[in-house]
Structures are given as structure tokens and as C-alpha cells.
Amino acid sequence: MVFCILFFVPEFSVRADAPDPVRSKNGMVVSASNLASKVGLQVLKKGGNAVDAAVAVGFALAVTYPSAGNIGGGGFMVIHLKDGKNITIDYREKAPINAASEMYFDEKGSVDTNKIQEGVLSSGVPGSVAGLIYALEKYGTLKLADVIQPAINLAEIGFPLEYRLAQSFKSYLDYFKKYESSLKIFSKNGLPYLEGEIFKQPDLAFTLKQIKEKGRDSFYKGKVAELIVQQSKKLGGIITLEDLENYQAVERQAITGSYKEFEVVSMGPPSAGGIGLIQLLNVLENLNFSKGEWGSSKYIHVLVEAMKYVYADRSVHLGDEDFYPVPKGWLLSKRYSKEIFGKISDEAIASEKVFAGNPNLYKESEETTHYSVYDGQGNAVSTTTTINSGYGSKVVVDGAGFLLNNEMDDFSVQPGFANQFGLIGSKANSIEPGKRMLSSMTPTIILKDGFPYLIAGSPGGSTILIVVLQVILNCINFKMDIQEAINQPRFHHQWLPDQIDYEEFGMAVDVIDNLVKRGHKIGQIKSLGRVEGILIDIENNIIFGATDPRGFGSAEGY
């Protein structure tokens, strides 16, 4: 397949030959952490289903991948059960009851990025523990003690640090030095950890044991809750015991659509990802790209023009449905997608001339992490979880051993003000007490004839849905295997700023020249996303797993 693409598209620089994806017959777990993937695989081998394994992976990632894996953040889980039912679980963080936009302004009335991107004031009420336990109790088959014990072992006994994790701790050392509780965990008395040294987290082990013994109440009402509030109050935060006691994970209706002969199942608001993904697929369904057009300037141009309209809609129409009437039906309609498609010409339209659609004319950090699980019995789980930017708020809860998120930055604090990902919002995503902030996370399951075909997701902030889209197109339109589809170079545009970002070595000079002639602005970026994916060949009963070479994860199957 690679040679075919190279032959037809000499203008596009393709990544080095991909290794074959991992193959299995019985089950597959793919995550950003080798240790966490192995934890999930062991759960499957012991007879657990995909949900059991996903919950075990979620807790393990809080130990082995602390820059993004978490119990102090939130996420979304998309589930397809073997009986055909699609479920989505929303455990996104919420604004504390005392939150207000004015808290994040400086004396001049401008947004103070330090307050909203770092420290306990940037933290929303965490939802990960509630979400994982909800999923396990309702759709799993094992007890909480069985799925959380591997994470306890990893925290208590420790594990040898890989080079990239030791370097990650070192690169954030200046941040950790601001917070004594964080420095205690991620350094050796202020000195960097070295590759190969055993990393133990006794405080985190304590917290996980509390959860094992007393369930979610230990985190939201018990000793751990008290430690969260104590740390927040000490450092000027606003999370209260009432915030924690009132937090609930919510089961929401899955966002679904169709693309060719496939059914797309993804997350709805407060995620913008599912709606944006299906909007883009609806627009692209009006085209029929040949294999030879993959990576061409025409292909990139059409995708980018569609992206502009979808991201413009995101900025105006999307937010927490409990607070704002999101026009989902209209955004997901084939009629509206044809309207967008009709606006795309051979020349680039300036983003300043692109406006969100009007539904009333008719009666949707990079340091996030994703994992995909399939149990071989027809159950599939696609989960994306985050504490927002790398190591979230940078504040560890003293005595509890876990980081708090900095998700308040995902609200639209001030109309027209861009957050750390360059996203601009409006009233739909404004700060309100108890509201869930808008997200770009796009955990997705693609079904073929009612059976799981593709499970995928990615970190990457505002780029997530575009990364997931390109992997889906690579698999469906261009018949790539899952590893090849993930390895291919990517590009991104999000309406504002008005620029196509492409990966290093991912676009040949003549393609760039053609795009510039069409009126596009071009920029280079080191990498886009880190996809963890599974593709299932139902006819031959083969499960293929692939981790993104942009990261350091693993696919584990049996």
C-alpha cells in the first residue's frame, strides 16, 4: 500500500515504512503507556470485558503517565456493547460553584493567563474517579478491587523510569519548584530523576487504596476530598466539599452519523469533537477522492476549507448542553453539510470571511491521553482523558499524591480571547457555576454492519478531531492498515489563526506552492496528535492494534 501511494503522489513526503500493526484474536489494548496497556491486557486475559480493562487502564495511567493520565482531571468514554447498544459517559470537570469570569481578570480588566492556566484557581472539579467507577459498575463485570489493584501496585512498589518520563519530569522541574507538594513527588529532594531509577508514589497509593476500599465516596466525600479542599484553600483555590459531593458522571446520548457504509459513534457536548468530526465527514461525503489524490494539494485544500466552517460553528454554537441549547440536529444534518460544501471553491476563503452557520434559518494540550480497548466479544471502548496542559495545574494534592487539572482555561473567559490552544469562544462556553467546559476530545468508534471496525482517539487540544478525521479517512477511503493510517503525516486548520499547520517533513515543496497559490498561509509544526487505534477484521477474526510513533505507547494483544 505504501508503494502505491508513493507512486501516485510523488509530491507528498510519506513517513518511513510503518511496522506491521500488532495482531491478535482475543483482545487488544492500546494506550500511551506500555505498563498501562499490559494492565488492561491482563484484565482481559482474566475474563474481564472491554469496560473492565478500560477502567483498569484509566487508573494505571494515573500512575505511569502523570502528565496526562489522571484521577484529578476528567474525560469521556464511548462504549459499544456486543448487544449493539452505544453509550457515552461524560466525566468532564465542572466549574466550582463559586467560579466567575472576573476571578481571572487582572487589574486592567484583561485575562490573566497565569491564573487560568496554572495553580489551583485554574482547576475544575475533577470527574475521572466518578466516571471510571460509573462505567465499571454499570457496564463492567469485575469488582473495583480487581481493576484498581494493578495501579496500586505500580504506585506502591514503583517502576523503572523510562528516559522520556524522566526527561519530562526534568523539563517541568521549574514549575514543580513553585509547589512543595509537587516537587516532593516529581523530584528527589529538588534533583531530577534519572532514567532507570525506581519511581514510587506512596501518597497516590494511599489515595487509590481509599478508592478501592470505600469507592467513589472516599474521593468525593471522605479523606481524599478533605485533602483536595485543604490544598485548594491553602493556595487560593475555590473548590469546596460541596463541589465534590455534588459531582456526578453523566451518561449521555451518543452522537452518531454515517459516512459511506459506516456508522460513526462519538462523544457529544460538552465535547465539540463528535459533532465536528461528523460535520466534516458529512461534507467530505460529497466527494469521492481516489487513492492517487491522498496528500495532494486538492485533497488538503478541500479538507482545510471545510475545517474553517466547522471550527467557526464550534466557537459559537457548542457548550455544555445543561446550560446552553446546542443545535445538534441542525449541525449534524446532511442538508447543512451540503450548504458548507457549496461554499468551497478552488480558492481559499479568508477565515475573517467565514462565519458560523445560523440554525434559525432551519426548523455542534496537547497533554491529553487516549486509549482504545476491544475484548474480542464485540465490546469496544474508546476513552480520552485529560488534565488539560502538561501536568495540569502543576499542583499535587498534598498527602494524596495526584495532580489537579487546569481545565478552567477551556472556558471562554472573555469573548474573543483565545485560550492556550488558540481557540476562541462565546457565550455558549462562558464560565458558570457547575458548568462543564467545552472540550475537543473525540473518542470514536466506527461500526461496519453493526460491528466495531475502528476504535480511535488522540490527545492534541484543538487539533484532536482533525487528527482523528485523517486516520479515519486513511483507513476507509485509502484502505490503509491501522499502523500505516496512524503513521501518515498530518495537517491542521482551526479557522483562527488562519493558517495550515503541517508536520515536519510532511508536505513537499510543490504541494506547499500549490496551496499558497490557492491563497493559503502555511506553517510547520513538529507533530500533531498521538493516536492509539484498533482496527477489527470481523470476517477473519483478526484484531489489529497500533500506537502512534509520535509517542511512546504500546499495543498489547493476545
Q: What's the pLDDT tens digit per position in 86-130?
A: 999 999 999 999 999 999 999 988 889 899 999 999 999 999 999
**What sign results for the dihedral spanned by CA atoms 292, 297, 302, 304?**
positive
Q: Are 388 and 438 in contact (CB under 8 A)?
A: no
The predicted structure's pLDDT at residue 423: 56
The alpha carbon dihedral of 424, 426, 429, 434 has a sign of: positive
- The CA-based angle 424-433-366, given to 5 degrees, is 40
Q: Please, what sign has the CA dihedral across residues 412, 532, 13, 264? A: negative
Please check whether residue 269 is in contact with residue 318, taking contact to mean a CB–CB distance below 8 angstroms.
yes
Report the b/e string of 393-408 with b at 16+ CB within 10 A.
Answer: bbbbbbbbbbbbbbbb
The model's pLDDT over 324-357, given as tens digits with 9 standing for 90+, comes to 999 999 999 999 999 999 999 999 888 787 766 5
Looking at residue 427, its pLDDT comes to 79
E strand or H helix at 491 = strand 491-492
Among residues 175, 123, 73, 179, the alpha carbon closest in space to that of 396 is found at 179
Using CB atoms within 10 A of its CB, is residue 360 exposed (0-12), middle (13-18) or buried (19+)? exposed
pLDDT of residue 354: 74
Task: Please answer whether residues 460 and 368 qualify as being in contact, where contact means their C-beta atoms are separated by less than 8 angstroms.
Answer: yes
Pairing outcome for strands 22-24 and 542-547? antiparallel
Q: Which residues contact 16 (CB under 8 A, 6 or more apart)?
A: none
The pLDDT profile of the chain, 558 residues, written as one tens digit per residue, is 333 333 223 333 334 456 899 999 999 999 999 999 999 999 999 999 999 999 999 999 999 999 999 999 999 999 999 999 999 999 999 999 999 999 999 998 888 989 999 999 999 999 999 999 999 999 999 999 999 999 999 999 999 999 999 999 999 999 999 999 999 999 999 999 999 999 999 999 999 999 999 999 999 999 999 999 999 999 999 999 999 999 999 999 999 999 999 999 999 999 999 999 999 999 999 988 888 889 999 999 999 999 999 999 998 999 999 999 999 999 999 999 999 999 999 998 887 877 665 554 333 256 799 999 999 999 999 999 999 999 999 999 999 999 999 999 999 887 655 556 555 556 789 999 999 999 999 999 999 999 999 999 999 999 999 999 999 999 999 999 999 999 999 999 998 889 999 998 889 899 999 999 999 999 999 999 999 999 999 999 999 999 999 999 999 999
| Three-state secondary-structure class, residue 172 | coil
Q: Of 126, 395, 97, which Cα lies nearest the Cα of 234?
A: 395
CB of 93 closer than 8 Å to CB of 436:
yes
From 64, 88, 368, 547, active-site residue: 368
- Tell me the C-alpha distance between 358 and 201, whole Å: 51
Go through the chain and tell me how many residues it has: 558
394: closest CA among 118, 115, 63? 118
Rg of the chain in Å (alpha carbons): 22
Active site annotation includes 369: no
Q: Give the per-residue pLDDT at 356.
A: 64
Distance CA 142, CA 47 (A): 9
- DSSP calls for 328-364: HHHHT-HHHHHHHHHT--SSPPPGGG-----GGG---
Residue boundaries of the structural domains of the chain: 2-22+253-367+440-557, 33-251+377-429
Neighbours of 162 (CB within 10 A): 17
pLDDT of amino acid 366: 60
Element (H, E) at 448: strand 444-448
- Measure CA of the first residue to CA of the last residue in the chain; give whole Å: 26
Is 3.60.20.40 the CATH classification of the domain at 2-22+253-367+440-557? yes
Before 497, cis peptide (omega within 30)?
yes
Contact 273, 460 (CB under 8 A): no
